[in-house]
């Protein structure tokens, strides 16, 4: 965001580059906080807003290109439906089958990327959590779980178990990943199949929507015996900041993290793609503080 140093006022002019988010709903998004804070930090003359797109994301993306919009984030429910509007899609985003970041290429259109999974990976690196060679349990089989499973296979997890309320959806993910990564041992099951996990302790990534505000008293699995099988618990949910899943894992002696850093880093990586820079730790820390303020923490 371009701030006038003397007056401290926002300065938007004819050179201001415009970015934004399309999705439905977008009222609660934190993406403007991430991008406008980074623009302010780097003194970039850009502004980021949220565009509610109820239907036809293809038309919205084509319209954004016609209007000279420089980049877009895409959120639920358009992450897959926006793909036909793109002139090119990054390989990993194509495997996931969903994009969340569109980069304008002058004269061609938008190229699609998925920064959610690199964002999760960077958030885990930041916490010192490894994927390589790790035994992983993924809870859920929705869009996020599918992408997490793809990342786990791509980064060389030694074993992956995908457990979901609807086991058929977990099986569909495992089948697809076995096709793309034949060397990754991936097993699907129901939420009760944690009882069948082979000996040892696991990294567990919670990728269901259970426990999200206002249903903060819920966890996808309640049995303390399950949490005894986990050394690290990573919840993709970040609202509330401390989920019940995290609390149960901590009670059983595991380390536990929420999804706020994943949200933060997916935004940071999008900002890097749009501006051709590497965002430094001081800027990341500033965004983290702003996000927490926004959440009243």
Active site amino acids? 79
Provide the 3-class DSSP secondary structure of residue 135: strand
Q: Give the nearest distance from C-beta 130 to ligand NAP in angstroms.
A: 19
User: Residues 113, 93: contact at Cβ < 8 Å?
Assistant: yes
Q: Give the nearest distance from C-beta 167 to ligand NAP in angstroms.
A: 8
Provide the 3-class DSSP secondary structure of residue 7: coil
Q: From the centroid of its chain, how far is CA 244?
A: 20
In the complex with ligand NAP, the residue whose CB is nearer, 65 or 226, is 226
* Alpha-helical segments (H) within 164-232: 167-180, 224-227
Pairwise CA distance, residues 221 & 243, whole Å: 12
Q: Give the nearest distance from C-beta 288 to ligand NAP in angstroms.
A: 13
In the complex with ligand NAP, the residue whose CB is nearer, 74 or 263, is 263
In the complex with ligand NAP, the residue whose CB is nearer, 96 or 141, is 141
In the complex with ligand NAP, the residue whose CB is nearer, 62 or 193, is 193
Helices 116-127 and 143-154 cross at an angle (nearest 10°) of 60
User: Residues 137, 189: contact at Cβ < 8 Å?
Assistant: no
Positions touching ligand NAP (CB under 6 A) are 116, 140-145, 164-166, 169, 207-210, 212, 220, 236-238, 259, 262-263, 266
Q: Give the nearest distance from C-beta 2 to ligand NAP in angstroms.
A: 27
Q: How far is CA 138 from CA 70, 161, 181, 232, in A?
A: 35, 6, 17, 12
In the complex with ligand NAP, the residue whose CB is nearer, 45 or 239, is 239
Q: From the centroid of its chain, how far is CA 24?
A: 16
Q: Give the nearest distance from C-beta 188 to ligand NAP in angstroms.
A: 12
β-bridge pairing 101-105 and 71-74 = antiparallel
Pairwise CA distance, residues 183 & 175, whole Å: 12
Which residue from 152, 57, 66 is spatially nearest to 112, judged by alpha carbons? 57
């Amino acid at each position: 965001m371009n701030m006038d140093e003397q007056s401290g006022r926002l300065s938007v002019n004819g050179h201001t580059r415009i970015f934004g988010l399309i999705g439905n709903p977008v009222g609660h998004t934190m993406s403007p906080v991430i991008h406008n804070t980074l623009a302010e930090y780097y003194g970039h003359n850009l502004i980021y807003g949220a565009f509610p797109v109820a239907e036809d994301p293809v038309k919205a993306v084509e319209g954004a290109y016609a209007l000279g919009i420089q980049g877009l984030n895409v959120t639920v429910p358009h992450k897959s439906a926006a793909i036909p509007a793109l002139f090119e899609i990054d390989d990993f985003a194509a495997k996931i089958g969903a994009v969340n970041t569109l980069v304008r290429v002058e004269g061609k259109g938008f190229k699609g990327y998925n920064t959610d999974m690199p964002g999760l990976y960077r958030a885990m690196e930041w916490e010192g959590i490894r994927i390589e060679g790790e035994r992983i349990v993924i809870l859920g089989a929705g869009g996020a779980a599918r992408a997490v499973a793809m990342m786990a296979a791509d980064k060389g997890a030694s074993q992956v178990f995908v457990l979901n309320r609807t086991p058929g959806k977990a099986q569909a993910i495992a089948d697809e990943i076995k096709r793309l990564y034949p060397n990754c041992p991936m097993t699907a099951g129901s939420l009760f199949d944690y009882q069948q996990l082979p000996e040892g302790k696991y990294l567990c990534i919670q990728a269901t929507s259970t426990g999200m505000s206002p249903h903060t008293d819920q966890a996808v699995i309640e049995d303390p015996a399950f949490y005894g099988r986990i050394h690290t618990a990573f919840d993709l949910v970040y609202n509330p900041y401390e989920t019940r899943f995290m609390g149960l894992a901590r009670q059983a002696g595991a380390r536990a993290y929420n999804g706020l850093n994943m949200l933060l880093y997916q935004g940071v990586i999008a900002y890097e793609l749009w501006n051709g820079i590497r965002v430094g730790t001081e800027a990341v820390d500033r965004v983290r503080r702003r996000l927490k303020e926004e959440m009243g923490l």
